[in-house]
A and B are shown apart, each in its own frame.
Chain A
Amino acid sequence: MNRALARILLSLAFCAPAAAQDVKKEIERYRQMVSEGSPAELFELEGEALWKKPQGPRQASLEKCDLGLGPGVLKGAYAALPRYFKDADRVMDLETRLLHCMTTLQGRSREEATQRVFGNADRPSEMESLSAYVAAQSRGMKMAPGESHPKEKAAYELGRALYFQRAGSWDFACTSCHGEEGKRIRLQELPVLLKPENARSVAASWPAYRISTSGFVTMQWRMNNCYQQMRMPEPAFGSDTTVALIHFITVTGKGETYQGPGNKR
């Protein structure tokens, strides 16, 4: 597979004035190739090891972590997130819940557990590998995030409001890039996540292996990186803001069969 990637990168490098269409086609071809034996599987394996590894002051593993369907239940758990958790009295997405389990079950401090939530190609983060492992256990299941609890409804409404919220040095909202059909930044196409037909494939493919950086990326990372590009200050990991946006997007894209962890450009 590395050889396949090298071949495509070489062909991209040497046919410099190739039409944009060709470049996109090549990337699409590579995406298809990797989907048959995705590098995401490597992260899933690493995540499984981390899930079972005793860590923190309590030297406990995450195997008793309740992701919503009961302690230790992984099958279908990701497809039912984000959802309201009574023990924390708030809506949580996968990563926020994992962090909750790290602090409660393993006795780790929030500071220590969030020191390095986003990794890179050389060294993926613990959170990324765990997300890959947990999400993979929902493959083939329909995305059905929580929608009945008042706090779930409130998170959806907050996420929707934030999607339109213009702020920062460049006056951007989510809608600045993801507000109109058929638009691009450079060559990157931008889904309008207000529409179920666009949000469905997003909900069904994140978290994902990212071809351009050879790393694994999560929805918390996606929100963080969008706010960076919006020229805003940094949103806290697992904050109400990022969870509400993720919840809003997932609810908008509900009903799709989960096929991730997928591949992104």
Chain B
Amino acid sequence: MQRDFHARGQAGMERVVQDGIQRVCTETHNQPPAELARRLEADQMKTIAFPQASLIGDWKSGERIAQNGRGMQWTDAPGTPNGGSCYNCHQLSPKEISYGTIGPSLAGFGAKRGSGPELQRYVYGKIYNAKAYNLCSQMPRLGYSGTLTEQQIKDLVGLLLDPASPVNQ
């Protein structure tokens, strides 16, 4: 891979080098032994920087981030805010008919579960580093990878949990 790939734009060659999790998930076809998975998930949990104050941001901004599928590609200008590509894989607002199905539907997520501090923490952490909860999840580690900022992740927490968000209508 070192020979066949070249850096382009913001996509540098360090990206072809697998980290421990990528290696374990590749080698086990995403079925890691339970004990190893627990240990590596705990390591990933330590990477999550939970903010002190409320984790619920602006759902309107969250909706824009969820719609935006750009960011981190060699064609994307570095320095412009990245999107979360959420609708690529999840249903969120029932108004959006163009949604993917690789991840579970999140329509009504907060309406079904509330918006308590534990749930806020779970949603923030899951977006920041999905591998802390499910080692070989197909979901990108959006905070850990530097794709989304703390504020952007809070806005996505708002999109999922704010009772006024279209996700919960």
Contacts and interface: CB of A to CB of B under 8 A. Distances in A.
Interface of A: 17-20, 23, 164-173, 175-177, 179-180, 182-187, 227-229, 231-236, 239-242
Contacts of B141: 170-171
A236 B13 CA distance: 13
B25 to A, nearest CB: 5
| A-B pairs with lowest CB-CB distance, top 6 | A170-B140, A239-B4, A241-B4, A234-B8, A166-B22, A233-B5
A19 to B, nearest CB: 6
Interface of B: 1, 3-8, 11-13, 15-18, 21-22, 25-26, 29-30, 72-75, 87-89, 97-102, 131, 138, 140-141, 145-147
Secondary structure type dominating chain B contacts: loop
A191 to B, nearest CB: 14
Given A169-B72, A186-B88, A20 B5 contact: no
28 contacts: A17-B97, A164-B29, A166-B18, A166-B25, A167-B1, A169-B140, A169-B147, A170-B72, A170-B141, A171-B22, A171-B131, A172-B140, A175-B30, A183-B102, A185-B88, A186-B88, A228-B73, A231-B15, A231-B140, A232-B16, A233-B11, A233-B12, A234-B5, A234-B6, A234-B7, A234-B8, A236-B6, A241-B1
B93 to A, nearest CB: 13
A183 B100 contact: yes
A228 B74 contact: yes
Contact of B102 (A23, A169, A177): A177
Contacts of B138: 171-172, 176, 179
Contact of B5 (A177, A179, A180, A241): A241
A185 B21 contact: no
A229 B98 contact: no
Given A173-B26, A228-B75, A167 B101 contact: no
Given A19-B97, A165-B18, A169-B11, 14 more contacts: A167-B18, A168-B11, A169-B146, A170-B141, A171-B25, A183-B100, A184-B102, A185-B89, A186-B98, A233-B7, A233-B15, A234-B74, A236-B5, A239-B3
A77 B7 CA distance: 34
A167 B147 CA distance: 15
A96 B29 CA distance: 30
Nearest to A239: B4
Given A169-B140, A169-B147, A241-B5, A232 B22 contact: no
B27 to A, nearest CB: 9
A180 to B, nearest CB: 8
Contacts of A239: 3-5
A245 to B, nearest CB: 11
